[in-house]
Amino acid sequence: MGGTIAPDRILHEMADLWVSLGKQSEGDAGVLRACSMTLVVEAEESDDAQAIGETLAALMPEHPSRAIVIRFRADDRRTLAARVFAQCWMPFGHRQQICCEQIEITATDASIPDLAAVVLPLTAPDLPVVLWCRSPRLFHLPAFPQMAAISQKVVLDSEAFNDPAGILKEMSAALAMGRSLADLSWTRLTRWRELIAQIFENRAQLANLPGVSEVRISSCSKSPPVEAFYMAAWLMDGLEKIGAHARLRFDSAPGVASGELNRVDLIARDGPDSIASIVSIASIGLVEGHAAEVRVGGLVNRAVLPRPTDYALMREELSIPGRDAVFERTLAAAAKLAADETRP
Amino acid sequence: MSLENPFQDPLRFERQVPECALAIFGANGDLTKRKLLPALYRLAYERRLSAGFAVLGLSRTAMSDEEFREKMRASVKEFLEDSPFDDDIWTAFAQGLFYMAGDVHDAALYPALDARMKEIEGQRHTGGNVLFYLSTQPSQYIRIAQGLGAANAGTGKGWRRIVVEKPFGHDLTSAQELSAELHKVFHESEVYRIDHYLGKETVQNILAFRFGNGIFEPLWSRNYVNHVQITAAESIGVEGRGAYYQEAGSLRDMIQNHLLQILATVAMEPSATFRPDSVRDERSKLLRSIRIMKPEEVRADTVSGQYGPASIGGEDVPGFRQEPGVNPDAQTDTYAAVTFFVDNWRWAGVPFYLRSGKRLPKRVTEIAIQFNAAPLAIFNGNESNVAPNLLILRIQPEEGISLKFLSKRPGTGMKLRPVSMDFNYGSSFGERSPTAYETLLLDAIIGDATLYTRQDMVEANWAVVDAIQHVWDNTKFDFPNYPAGTWGPKAADDMLARRGHVWRQP
């Protein structure tokens, strides 16, 4: 049997929810309603609902939002169902609750064309809409552009796509059409990139940079993952800016997990040896996979790389409401690199 | 042509720091163990320091580099707050720790220090950048500056900066003498006078709150603000520092620096940019606008207090004069309350009440801005229907901001009740806030002096405080005048009552 949902009814249920929360609150403290955006999460029904819920709950204190979680089921019937609840936390030792509203929609594939019309009125007025698409299949559904069109930013995770060259090309095309995109595979690189950038805050190391003749990027998979293309594109772009013309080499080596980067080397022509590694970042601490070893000249340093959980990655992306010029430039270059690499 | 780092991404990266070495005088002291090294380790843990960052510790105790590292490791493990201790990270960080024994009064120390710094520079690629940190007795500051000057250690291949801990003198004259000696070796822009209160997140957040939001600043003046209260209360006594404290007192130890800097941050004009000198110019201007009291005003608008013995929670607590090392007739103020007025167009006539004391009921630092009540009480009822709005900026222990306003109580009739809108740093942001020393050390390495105190600011502070201290020094107080564990002498309540105000109970 089919079913649908009326946005007005959901909004009414939300209003009732706030009244009920207010009644439940103890004493005179009341409930504080917090909202800085609408966060739409698209996920498959098989996706871990509890993990999504925990990620959203963790994000709420810093990025309070009206969360609309849409769970998709492969089904020919046009069915939409919704329920409303609140995420609350008590930051002040039980003085006052802060709550964010959450709407959970269950949709079948057949009902997808109806979805944008349902979600649009449910978005919080005057605030940005961020769409987090957690599944490659959903990204490729014909109705996806409609959902993307009501969002100011679309967040994907290209690591979940099996074809790095293909997804980079698609994202690059979407970017060229003016869409604001974010990719959690790029976000995963932030700490790596920060370590590299920090090395060249040292003037002596910076002076060596034009002498880099080779960039080596090593990952755990047989062919370079999306992260490797991003890292390569970003490094080559930086080197070009200062007039260095380096060769690029992708390597495969056993490491922490499939797809992850495990080493980046910038190799100079004229080091103390015939080839000197002036930068080498290698993942260590395999149990946690969260430490990096940085070799610069004769110095070896270790730094913690926080585990890139969905929470940590989304938290970083939600902190960037506008466009990210560095990412956009890198994405275009990474798509080109990936296409060249996979060309027969 | 100088190269620029092509890998910077300010949208996502934290501020990047240049390579440098830190030379700490007083490396065997409490501040180094409790605050500096834990802060530096935490910065290393957070990947905030350059790869070759180095620390050279100096003090009189003979120790090898390895012994120093072991000692610092134990201190970091003991005093690290809200952070895990990671052996691998420590091992890498400790490679950059070095030690040198020497007496700051020995002229031979300084050329040897210079030579050791050059050795470290070659080993750690620190680029010749050196940050000196004076964590010694204040009486040694001038000697160290002179020693560094004589050994030409104040100049070199890279930049040189010096961090000076408070107190910056004990009055205006001595503060000027200290600055003059420092300036023989370091330019004022290279002198970083540290006031750790300014490094606290909430103090910085005052600037964000005032100048990042459009809705509060129009209210931030004599037209809407009734008065301001700044409280820095400590529940502990002098904790073995009686001998030092009886020479300082609350007015010099807290109000002269921390609280007046907070007052300046709350009341300053917006700066044109967030560049260090732009912000500090405005702070300085404000401090110079504080009215310097005449002797008769000191008697009316200040209160000096000293705690006496009491029983707190069933435990007998000694009075200040019974503390070890304290003169039994000491006239030291362990409590000070002052009514300041800022003589400018924005604040003319608005009292700023500052109080600080030891052995008060709880440890709390906060700023309360009380707005004028609504001009007309149109809602009949009890007193709570006319309660004025209150904005509270909490600095410690629970950093945050609260706004109190009136709301209608549910039901028929128009009964109002005060409600509070709260923002709490700890719970509103998922991440841990850096400690004040992490913030300030990083700022000094980067060369950002925004949160440091400049000579003109220190002198303006002393000019205000000296006028009070002079009268107090010539007055015989009937101490003790408040029991430990209370909110201070009754005279402090009377001081506010004369203007129709009462102290908040934080």
The shortest CB-CB distance from B89 to any of A95, A242, A302 is to A302
List the single residue in B7, B18, B44 with the smallest CB-CB distance to A193: B7
B398 has a pLDDT exceeding 80: no
A113-122, A140-149, B238-247, B438-447: range with highest mean pLDDT: B438-447
- Contact between B13 and A190 using a beta-carbon 8 Å cutoff: yes
What residue ranges in A58-115 does DSSP mark as E strands?
Answer: 65-73, 80-89, 97-108
Identify which has the larger pLDDT, A38 or B431. A38
SS3 content of chain A, % helix, strand, coil (to 5): 40, 30, 30
Interface of B with A in 423-442 (CB under 8 A): 424, 426-430
**Region label for B450, one of left (φ > 0), alpha (ψ between -120 and 50) or beta (otherwise):** alpha
Cβ pair B346, B223 in contact under 8 A: no
Residue B41 has pLDDT above 50, yes or no: yes
d(CA A162, CA A164): 6
Is the pLDDT higher at B228 or at B419?
A: B228
Mean pLDDT (chain A) is 82
Q: In chain B, which residues have their Cβ closer than 8 Å to the Cβ of A324?
A: 11-12
Are the CB atoms for B310 and B317 separated by under 8 Å? Answer: yes
Please enumerate, as own/partner, the contacts of A116-122 that have beta carbons within 8 Å and a separation of 24 or more. A116/A143, A116/A146, A116/A147, A116/A149, A116/A150, A118/A5, A118/A7, A118/A80, A119/A40, A119/A68, A119/A70, A119/A147, A119/A150, A120/A150, A121/A7, A121/A8, A121/A11, A122/A7, A122/A10, A122/A11, A122/A38, A122/A66, A122/A68
**Interchain contact, B12 vs A326, CB within 8 Å:** yes
Mean pLDDT, rounded, for B232-256: 87
Can you give the pLDDT at residue A5?
72
Digit-coded pLDDT (tens) for B146-173: 999 999 988 888 999 999 998 899 999 9
Q: How far apart are CA A63 and CA A302, in angstroms?
A: 31
B189 in contact with chain A, both atoms CB, cutoff 8 A: no
Mean pLDDT of A82-105: 69
Q: What percent of chain A has pLDDT over 70?
A: 84
Amino acid at B412: T
Percent of chain B with pLDDT over 90: 62
Q: For residues B418 and B404, is the Cβ–Cβ distance under 8 A?
A: yes
Closest CA of chain B from A296, distance in Å:
8
Q: What average pLDDT does the segment B264-292 reach?
A: 93
Contacts 24+ apart (CB under 8 A), B271-278: B271/B211, B274/B450, B275/B450, B276/B448, B276/B449, B276/B450, B276/B452, B277/B449
Q: What is the mean pLDDT of residues A26-48?
A: 79
CA distances from B201 to A63, B27, B209, B364 (A): 19, 26, 12, 15
- As a whole number, mean pLDDT of residues A48-67 equals 86
Region A264-291 average pLDDT: 59
| Residue B384: predicted pLDDT | 54
The pLDDT of residue B112: 95
Read off the pLDDT of residues B248-273 as tens digits, 9 standing for 90 and up.
899 999 999 999 999 999 999 998 88
pLDDT of residue A275: 38
- Region B335-346 average pLDDT: 97
What was the pLDDT predicted at B6? 93
pLDDT at B378: 76
Neighbouring CB atoms inside 10 A of A221's CB total 15
Q: What is the pLDDT of residue A8?
A: 80
Task: Say yes or no to pLDDT of A58 above 80.
Answer: yes
Hey, which bits of A227-275 come out as E strands? Answer: 247-252, 261-268
Using alpha carbons only, give the angle B279, B285, B289 rounded to the nearest 5 degrees: 145
Position B420 pLDDT exceeds 80:
no
pLDDT of B97 above 70: yes
Q: Quote the CA–CA distance of B370 and B224 in Å, as a whole number.
A: 9
Can you tell me the mean pLDDT for B376-401? 76
Contact B5 A96 (CB under 8 A): no
Enumerate residues 6+ apart whose C-beta is below 8 A from B503. Answer: B229, B231, B353, B355, B487, B492, B493, B496
Interhelix angle B276-289/B260-267, nearest 10 degrees: 110
Residue A82 has pLDDT above 90, yes or no: no
∠ CA A237-A242-A245, nearest 5°, is: 65
Which of B4, B5, B11, B445 has the most A C-beta neighbours within 10 Å, making it the best mutation to test the interface with A?
B5
- Asked if the Cβ–Cβ distance from B5 to A304 is below 8 Å, we say no
